[in-house]
Chains A and B, each alone.
Chain A
Amino acid sequence: MLNVEDVKRDFPVLKNRDLIYLDNAATTLTPEPVIQSLQEYYKKLGASVHRGIYQLANETTEEFERARNSIADYIGANSPREIVLTKNCTEGINVIAYSLERWQEKSGKVLVTEMDHHSNILPWRFIANGSKKFQLEYVEVTKEGRLDIEDYKRKLSPETVAVAFPGISNVLGTVNPIKEVTNLAHENDALVILDGAQWLPHRAFDLSEYGVDFLTFSAHKMLGPTGLGVLYGREELLRMMPPPFGGGEMVLNVTRQKVKLTDPPQKFEPGTPPIAQTIAFKAALDYLEKLEVSQIKDHVDNLTQRAVNKLSKIPYIDIYGPKEGEPRGGLVSFNLEGVHSHDLATALDSLDNIAIRAGLHCAQPLHEVLEINSSARVSFYVYNSNEDVDRFIAGVKEVKTILGGENGE
C-alpha cells in the first residue's frame, strides 16, 4: 500500500498551500525529484542536443536520449526510435492525423468515439473536412457509458482507415477494451490510435500486450513537467509517414532544391526539443516506478470507489459512467441537482480549498449525448488520501445546503 503521508511530503505545492487537489485528470502536481531534475539541467547542463561537438552538448544529448530510452521501456516499445517527443498529447494526435492523410493510400472512414476528448476529435475532423479521402464517423456510447461495441462492429469495415479512441474516458472514467477494439480494427486493416492520456498515469501499459499502432500521452498528467507529450508509433509506420512540420535537426541534407530527412524519431522533432522537460520526465517515471505502478493503480482505484460509493448514497447526485464496483479510471463525473457545476467547484474551493473540475472537460459531444450542459469531476492520484475524499463529500453536502433550492434552471 502507498504511504500517502510519505508521498505528500515529496510535493512542495502541498506544503506551500492548504489544498485538496482533485483535478488530476487535467494535470498532476510535481514532486521534488522532477523539480530537482529541471533545476539540474539548467544548472549543470543547458546545451542543445544532437548537433554540438563539445563535451557539454554531448552530455546533454546523452541525458536526453537516456530519457527517451526510459520512456520506450516504460511502455514496452521495441526501440527508442519509436518514441517521438511532442509538446503534448494533443500535438501527437495532430501529427498522426495530418501525416496519415498525406501518406495513407487507403481512403475511407476514420472512426472516433462519442466519448473522445476534443483532442482526439478535432484533428480528425479538420483533416476529414478538407479531405476527399477520409470521412469521420462516431462510434456511439451506450446508456451505461460504455463504448457500444455492436455499433463499432457495424461501422467498422475493410474501408476503415483508422480507429482512434481513448483508453479511459476523461469524463465517464470508462475503461475501454483496448485489445478487443484493436483486434477488430486490425482484422479490417485499419490502424489503431490510442489516446492514453488518462490510462498511463495509473495503469501499466505494455505495447506487446495491446498491439496498438500509435499511442499518445502527456507527461504533465503523470507527475512530469508541462510542455511534453509522447507519440509512440510503430517504427515501420513512422518511417513511411511524412512529417507535418519542417525545421532544423530533422534533416540529413538540404540543398536549394532537395531535402533528405533523418530517420524517426528526429524526423518528427524539428527545432530544439523540450530538453529539460524530457530529462525531468525520466525523473517522474523513476518516481512512479519507485512507488510501483500496481500500487498506484490500487490506491487510485480505492479512492475512486470510495468516492463513487459515497456519492451514490446521496439522493440528489447523478453520477455518469460505470456503476459502483465496475472498472473505472481514477475519476468520477457527476452533477448535483439544482446546483450548477461551476458553482459547486467555486463553493468547494471557497469552503475548504478543494480543487475540482467543472464544465465540459473538452468533451462537448459527450455532454450532448448525456443531455447535460456541464458536469463536475473529481480525479485522484498518488498524494490523495481517504480523508481528501471524505472532506470532498462533506463539502458537497454543505454546498447543497447553501446553494440548493434554486430556481435558476
Chain B
Amino acid sequence: MENKPKIYNQDVLHHYQNPHNRGKLDDPDFSATKENPNCGDRISLQLKLSEDEISEVKFDGHGCVLSIGAASILTQMAMGLRVSEASDLTVDDLLNNMGNPGKMRKDCVSLALEVLKEALSQSGG
C-alpha cells in the first residue's frame, strides 16, 4: 500500500482556521471569482496594484481546508510580487508552501491560484 501524504498539516489547518487576508477591498483594481464544479467551493479574490506590484490582496468564499488554506497561503505569497512573477506561480509552488499535502486534492489547492491568474489576466499581465 502506498504511503498517504499527510494532507492536513498544522500549518494548513492554522491557515484554514485563521485565514490571512480574508475579506474585501474597498476599491480593488482587479477581481475574479471561480467555483470548483466537483464540490461547489467558491473563491473570490481582489487585488490592488502599485505600479507593477501587488500591493493589496484579499480573498473570500467558502470551501474545504485545502481550498481555504491554499487561498490564505497564496495571498501571502502574492503580496509584493510583480504581476509577471505572480502570473508565473505554479500549483507546485503553492503545494511547496503548504508542506506538500500530496496531489490527490490538487483541484482544491489550484482553485485560488486560478482565481489569482484570472484577476491578473485582466491587468494585461
| Contact surface of A with B, Cβ cutoff 8 Å | 17-18, 340-343, 346-347, 349-350, 358-360, 367, 373-374, 402-403, 405-409
Please name all residues of chain B whose beta carbon is closer than 8 Å to the beta carbon of A17 when the two chains form the complex: 1
Minimum CB distance partner of B72 in chain A: A408
CB–CB A340/B7 < 8 A: no
Minimum CB distance partner of B5 in chain A: A350
Most buried by B among A347, A373, A374, A408: A408
The 4 closest A-B pairs by CB, nearest first: A340-B64, A373-B40, A408-B68, A342-B64
Minimum CB–CB distance for B25 against chain A, Å: 20
Please name all residues of chain B whose beta carbon is closer than 8 Å to the beta carbon of A402 when the two chains form the complex: 8, 13
| Contact surface of B with A, Cβ cutoff 8 Å | 1, 4, 6-8, 13, 16-19, 38-41, 62-66, 68, 104-105, 108
CB–CB B4/A349 < 8 A: yes
CB–CB B7/A346 < 8 A: yes
Residue in A18, A373, A374, A408 whose CB lies within 8 Å of B65: A408
Please name all residues of chain B whose beta carbon is closer than 8 Å to the beta carbon of A358 when the two chains form the complex: 39
CB–CB A342/B13 < 8 A: no
Minimum CB–CB distance for A403 against chain B, Å: 6
6 extra interface residue pairs, beta carbon distance < 8 Å, beyond A346-B105, A359-B39 = A349-B4, A350-B8, A373-B41, A407-B17, A408-B16, A408-B62
CB–CB A360/B1 < 8 A: no
Most buried by B among A341, A346, A402, A403: A346
Assembly CA distance A402 to B8 (angstroms)? 9
Please name all residues of chain A whose beta carbon is closer than 8 Å to the beta carbon of B16 when the two chains form the complex: 406, 408
Assembly CA distance A360 to B41 (angstroms)? 11
Please name all residues of chain B whose beta carbon is closer than 8 Å to the beta carbon of A340 when the two chains form the complex: 39, 41, 63-65
Dominant secondary structure of chain B at its interface with chain A? loop
Assembly CA distance A18 to B18 (angstroms)? 35
Given A340-B64, A408-B68, the answer on whether A403 and B13 have CB atoms closer than 8 Å is: yes
Residue in B4, B6, B19, B65 whose CB lies within 8 Å of A343: B65
Minimum CB distance partner of B40 in chain A: A373
Minimum CB–CB distance for A41 against chain B, Å: 30
Assembly CA distance A18 to B17 (angstroms)? 32
Most buried by A among B1, B38, B64, B66: B64
Please name all residues of chain B whose beta carbon is closer than 8 Å to the beta carbon of A405 when the two chains form the complex: 17
Residue in A349, A374, A408 whose CB lies within 8 Å of B40: A374
CB–CB B8/A347 < 8 A: yes
Listed by A's residue number, 23 A-B pairs whose Cβ atoms lie within 8 Å are A17-B1, A340-B41, A341-B39, A342-B66, A343-B64, A343-B65, A343-B66, A350-B4, A350-B8, A358-B39, A360-B39, A367-B40, A373-B39, A402-B8, A402-B13, A403-B8, A403-B65, A405-B17, A406-B16, A408-B17, A408-B65, A408-B68, A409-B62
Assembly CA distance A349 to B1 (angstroms)? 13
Assembly CA distance A358 to B62 (angstroms)? 16
Minimum CB–CB distance for B122 against chain A, Å: 26
Please name all residues of chain B whose beta carbon is closer than 8 Å to the beta carbon of A343 when the two chains form the complex: 8, 64-66
Minimum CB–CB distance for B65 against chain A, Å: 5
Given A374-B39, A407-B17, the answer on whether A342 and B4 have CB atoms closer than 8 Å is: no
Minimum CB–CB distance for B49 against chain A, Å: 27
